[in-house]
Structure 1
Amino acid sequence: MTAAKTPSLTLEAFLKLPETKPASEYIDGDIIQKPMPKARHSRLQGKLIQAINSVTEADQIAYAFPELRCTFGGRSIVPDIAVFLWQFIQLNENGEPLDNVLIAPNWTIEILSPEQSSNRVTGNILHCLTHGCQLGWLIDPDDRSIVVFQPQQQPELFYQDDQLPVLAGIESALTAKQVFSWLKM
């Protein structure tokens, strides 16, 4: 006989807690605080957001949000970058985005920190894909690789001059080499 795991806190109770810095995530009844971003992580995050929004925002194709809490499918996670196609961004009567996001991003991007569990981060990407996400990137600055996840496909590993897949409708020809070149200042 297997004992069922009892969550120490419900998702609803977790969402009522004050936000933490760095953010905490709710995964399978556990509260897990993300590691504090370091310089390389922040640099890649900022440059990727800029690269995505520079080709998507003006034409209202998509928008990349940093550290946006997304609650869906029994989890509340905070991807390093959550990209939403424009039609999925819920707006209030003033045309401003709603604060509470209750759907998976269309594209989730995670930048691995040395003290982070790659399996836990991969688990969040897979959770996103299970709940409607179309694309996930797991960026590893230490070995200069990007693992790309897409629904119903085997993950692919990208290095050097490999062109990275992006969401349909986004005009971008980023390569792994270009992404990691942003680390040089």
Structure 2
Amino acid sequence: MIVTSKLYSLPEFLQLPQIEESPAWELIEGQIVQKPMPTIHHSILQKRLVAAIDPAGSDYEAFPELRCVLSSNSVVPDITIVRRNRIPTENVPIAGAPDWMIEILSPDQSVTKLIEKIQNCLKEGTQLGWLIDSTEQVIMVLFPDQRINLLKESDRLPVPPGVLLHLTVEQVLGWVQSPSQP
């Protein structure tokens, strides 16, 4: 993960030419941070979660690595889930926080920084955040104005109202232990 030392404003950041390079760059609390290159486990979780969320019979759609521009931050969650009526018709970022976001902890990422990123989004309208830690075999669940919930094993993962998705922590984490299983 690369972090710059100079502090940037959101307009300054959005004018930089490299922010859409892979891996993406984010602006968090004035600092420019490049996301780490995903591992195979990270990519498998992204792929399986998007595939599970999209057909879940709701008004939401899931996107891997989609930029969201907040009031002073610009974030690229590992999975951004937004109501379909918020999907831009032009090739522009999502305006505002995602409705639901999922972060997948990579080996060189800070849990604290990812929690801060999710909390920033919760302050601006995100209703639900998951932070998946496959090393510890847990998924942290964050809601606005609530404590962090630490879920494991057969705990059922919460989803926004109207999303017909029934997943447990062990099901999600099982995808990286046996990636050939859908």
**Structure whose CA Rg is larger:** 1
Residues 7 and 28 in structure 1, CA contact (< 8 A), matched pair in contact too: no
Deviations 1:136-157 (A, max 9, x none): 0000010110000011211111
Between 1:10-19 and 1:130-139, the stretch displaced more is 10-19
Q: How far apart are the structure 1 equivalents of 2:160 and 2:113?
A: 24
In the alignment, is residue 162 of structure 1 matched against residue 150 of structure 2? no
> Is there any run of 5+ residues in structure 2 with no aligned partner, and where?
none
Residues 136 and 148 in structure 1, CA contact (< 8 A), matched pair in contact too: yes
The residue number in structure 2 matching 1:171 is 164
Q: If the length of structure 2 is used for normalisation, what is the TM-score?
A: 0.89
Residues 71 and 102 in structure 1, CA contact (< 8 A), matched pair in contact too: yes
Cα deviation, residue 125, structure 1: 0.3
The residue number in structure 2 matching 1:85 is 83
Q: Secondary structure, in 3 states, of the residue corresponding to 2:55?
A: helix
Deviations 1:4-39 (A, max 9, x none): xx9633211211112222111111221111110000
The residue number in structure 1 matching 2:63 is 65
The residue number in structure 2 matching 1:3 is none
AA aligned opposite 1:81: I
The count of aligned residue pairs is 172
AA aligned opposite 2:111: S
Q: How far apart are the structure 1 equivalents of 2:71 and 2:15?
A: 17
Q: How does 1:117-156 map to 2 (within 5 A)?
A: 117-156=110-149
The residue number in structure 2 matching 1:47 is 48
The residue number in structure 1 matching 2:35 is 34
Q: Secondary structure, in 3 states, of the residue corresponding to 1:139?
A: strand
Q: If the length of structure 1 is used for normalisation, what is the TM-score?
A: 0.88
Q: Identity of paired residues, percent? A: 43
Runs of 4+ residues deviating >6 angstroms? none
Deviations 1:102-121 (A, max 9, x none): 21000010000010011111
Q: How far apart are the structure 2 equivalents of 1:80 and 1:118?
A: 14
- Root mean square deviation of aligned Cα: 1.6
The residue number in structure 2 matching 1:95 is none
Q: Secondary structure, in 3 states, of the residue corresponding to 1:172?
A: coil
> Is there any run of 5+ residues in structure 1 with no aligned partner, and where?
1-5, 93-97
Q: How far apart are the structure 1 equivalents of 2:26 and 2:53?
A: 25
In the alignment, is residue 22 of structure 1 matched against residue 23 of structure 2? yes
Q: How far apart are the structure 2 equivalents of 1:131 and 1:37?
A: 26
Q: Secondary structure, in 3 states, of the residue corresponding to 1:12?
A: helix
Residues 86 and 94 in structure 2, CA contact (< 8 A), matched pair in contact too: no
